[in-house]
Structure 1
């Protein structure tokens, strides 16, 4: 869509992810767009779960979720800055996952056998520590899958990352990989049990999001995987059939 074909009152801005210096384009903004609605879109565009997003404009004051572009004087061609909540090293974790830095992630509390600690983790009991690691592993998997870092995603899954974990908006790592066309990550996640037809809080599945974002290869990859799995299941005999075959073989001998 060209600038001349945009709806009236629509304009573009840019977004800078401070932890990685990545730049993203937001071409279809409007004055009445709320920051809460924007964050939902940014979760897919930037691969940063909504609850870690701190949005700022012109200064270092966080923008309120219920405020609009007009409330914050965000204008055409402006640059919004996204920062990650820094507590407990989340900014470092997100940056490492975005770069596919597996070695660094291994020292940031994303594996079940993590021996290190942080000031926050030190006050946690065993079960709370387990949940702490699981959450960090999922966030790292979500970001790495969005960026297409299949080796990092493989490392995280081998060390206990849950392929079914979701962001507050109900999105899994598969949703993130699908909207960005990361087919190698899609194959990996599906092979580890990810479900292509699980809806997020807006009712969108990984397949429907791939279609909305114009990622035809993502959609085909998921459809082919589902077809292969169904074909394999149809070929394999059921347990009752297997037992009947064994009994028949026994009588024959």
Structure 2
């Protein structure tokens, strides 16, 4: 195949679409599948049971599909699944899952993942997520759609970050971050709504106004979590244009096991 460099090492059994490109000195393992038009840069190592979709751009020196950094791992054939149209920059490390969870680490579509990002075992990353340089996700972390995580930010294992949230530079995320919120710091603090992000994504003025009320109920009126959830339910009924947004927020908060950042 003319688009696989002569110095690349492709193990027997690897499945590489004829339109994919593999650069110099890359190493592709036997259980790897690479989709159409995906580009794998020089010196990348892609191993394990790894499935990569179409139109991804993986820059040089990335390591994808290595065994999880978990002492309980005993060589089970767990997986890494990467969707489509992702940009994965230099020196990123994504590990496969463990049998203690779903056995799969999953990255969605259209994500922008900058250099030195680590995504540990059993993480689930949604779509259109931005992970800035050196962001680190510990095991079992879930990140919702259109989240932004700032550079040098660490996310504690089992934490969840809801859709449209943003974590600022060098933050320590040790609790769940509800959808739409902006957080930063160590210890972590909620600074307000991710207003600029919501506007850029086309949220109407009515939806943003309703979410501002939701934020005040959850964070600024001194309510217990139970009372805040009850008030949010009433708010969704009086703002039908934002009912889906408020329901997303309520469901996330009610399901939190680590407790939400407050």
On whether the aligned pair clears a TM of 0.5, the verdict is: no
Q: TM-score when scaled to structure 1?
A: 0.27
- Structure 1 or 2, whichever has the larger Rg, is 1
The structure, 1 or 2, with the larger RCO (C-alpha pairs under 8 Å, 6+ apart) is: 1
Q: TM-score when scaled to structure 2?
A: 0.26
Higher helix residue share: 1
